[in-house]
Amino acid sequence: AVAKAIFNKFHQRFEGKSFLSKVREGDTVKLQNQLLCDMLKPAKKEVRSIAEGTKEIKNRLSSIRALVIIDDVDCQKKLDELAIKRDSFGLGSRIIITTTNAHFLRILEVDDTYFPPAMSNEEALQLLCCRAFTERHPSDEEYLELSRKVVEYCG
């Protein structure tokens, strides 16, 4: 949610922009095509293999000042296949990576790390309800009680 809010707030300041979500579980070739399409609207051709996609990203995006958000990634291999490196994009670009693996960020030697504060139970309940029921609190009392138990269990 934080990464998407950052993207929505700042994407207009960049020539190219892409928000790649669920990278950990996503198909790499589809993610490569999404990145190319987002940056080169419209992309001239679709890549068909990881090697072709990596080469295409390196060759075509290196001069674009970009905002790229890589959401939910946990391994270096995925970033390599997406050609996500400091010099992958033009001067002034920003790459934001979200992960649940703090050790992974140390390996990458990132410039900055932000650890969001833990939510209160009430905030967690509101988030759960907004995602599950599209409202802050479900109208059905049983669902509300069940939601409270889920939040308590998750701690």
| Shared domain check, 126 and 75 | no
Total domains, the chain: 2
pLDDT tens, residue by residue, 88-136 = 999 999 999 999 888 888 888 788 888 888 889 999 999 899 888 888 7
Same domain, 101 and 71: yes
Sorted by sequence, the CB contacts under 8 Å of residue 24 that are 6+ apart come out as 72, 73, 74, 75, 78
Query: Same domain for 96 and 127?
Result: no
Residue 11 or residue 117, greater confidence: 11
Domain that holds residue 38: 2-108
Q: SS3 for 74?
A: coil
Q: Does 75 lie in the same domain as 126?
A: no
Does 61 lie in the same domain as 133? Answer: no
pTM of the model: 0.80
Q: Phi and psi for 16 in degrees, rounded to 5?
A: -120, 150
Query: For position 43, what pLDDT does the model report?
Result: 66
In three-state secondary structure terms, 66 is strand
Considering the domain boundaries, does residue 144 fall inside one? yes
